[in-house]
Amino acid sequence: MGSAAYTTSSRLLFRQLFEKDSSTYTYLLADTSHPDKPALLVDPVDKTVDRDISLVKELGLKLIYAINTHVHADHVTGSGLLKSKVPGVKSIISKASNAKADLFVEPGDKIIFGDLFLEVRATPGHTVGCVTYVTGDGPNQPQPRMAFTGDTLLIRGCGRTDFQIFSLPKDTLIYPAHDYKGFSVSTVGEEMQYNPRLTKDEETFKNIMANLNLSYPKMIDIAVPANMVCGLQEVESKAL
């Protein structure tokens, strides 16, 4: 499953990037028709910040935002490192997350980069502050739309989830924060039809989620405290 071929906007540059240790997807989006070529990264990882910066430079982009879908428990966000290495970058996370960032977003807000934008949708469940970022709806926006769902909706899986993602058009492309089976993209319609958790009634869904018996995330004790301070826990502690 490729990803770049699914976009149909001549304005949008889109890259799906991967961090293998945590199986995390980072997404690079930019408006290449704008003179500044403004760009943003969704869910950057600290281990791959140098790779991401190198790609941004190679493509002649200006990185303006590093945004997170939620406070991650399985990796340390790259937002803080990006801010320290690339002048002018601002970090973004939901206000409901109670984490530190330069800008806080709430449902209905728009994150504008050039003439493109992402809409913010509240999708709590996996964490109270989870949001999904959805490309805009309009003549100059990418079609079909794209939803960056974090851990809320995975391909054929989900976190403890809010179902409003399914109110999006069925051809909306689903780009999750993780995949552990080699998939890279799905659609709202596909997940409505084939997701083994989300095709069940409410009680069955609750029972499935209550009995997953997931192991304790190996990075959680490091990742969550760091991500609450924009991934700069070590930097802050050294400054004290």
- Where residue 214 falls among pLDDT bands split at 50, 70, 90? low
- Where residue 106 falls among pLDDT bands split at 50, 70, 90? very high
From the list 69, 58, 3, 63, the residue with the least C-alpha distance to 30 is 63
> Which DSSP symbol is given to 219?
T
Lowest mean pLDDT: which of 3-7, 43-47, 103-107, 112-116? 3-7
> For position 165, what pLDDT does the model report?
85
Residue 47 lies in a domain: yes
Decide if pLDDT at 188 tops 70.
yes
- State the chain's mean pLDDT as an integer: 83
Regarding predicted confidence, which is higher, 133 or 201?
A: 133
Decide if pLDDT at 40 tops 80.
yes
Residue 221 lies in a domain: no
> For position 235, what pLDDT does the model report?
41
> For position 218, what pLDDT does the model report?
58
Give the domain extent around 166: 8-215
What pTM was estimated for this model as a whole? 0.85
Regarding predicted confidence, which is higher, 34 or 98?
A: 34
Residue 189 lies in a domain: yes
User: Three-class SS of residue 36?
Assistant: coil
User: Residues with Cβ < 8 Å from 148, sequence gap 6 or more?
Assistant: 27, 42, 43, 69, 118, 132, 133, 134, 175, 177
**Buried b or exposed e, range 86-106, using 16+ CB within 10 angstroms:** beebbbbbbbbbebbbeebbe
| Encoded tokens for 182 | 């080699």
Under 8 Å between Cβ of 119 and 134: yes
Percent of the chain with pLDDT over 90: 55
From the list 93, 102, 121, the residue with the least C-alpha distance to 188 is 121
Regarding predicted confidence, which is higher, 58 or 231?
A: 58
> For position 123, what pLDDT does the model report?
87
| Cα–Cα distance, 170 to 195 (Å, whole number) | 14
Average pLDDT of the segment spanning 149-162: 79
Residue 195 lies in a domain: yes
- Where residue 52 falls among pLDDT bands split at 50, 70, 90? very high
Residue 223 lies in a domain: no
**CATH number of the CATH domain containing 35:** 3.60.15.10
Residue 222 lies in a domain: no
Residue 140 lies in a domain: yes
Sheet containing 62-67, strands listed edge to edge, beginning at the edge strand earlier in sequence? 12-19, 24-31, 38-42, 62-67, 90-94, 103-105
Looking at the structure of the chain, the number of domains it has is 1
Residue 162 lies in a domain: yes
- Where residue 19 falls among pLDDT bands split at 50, 70, 90? very high
Amino acid in position 231:
G
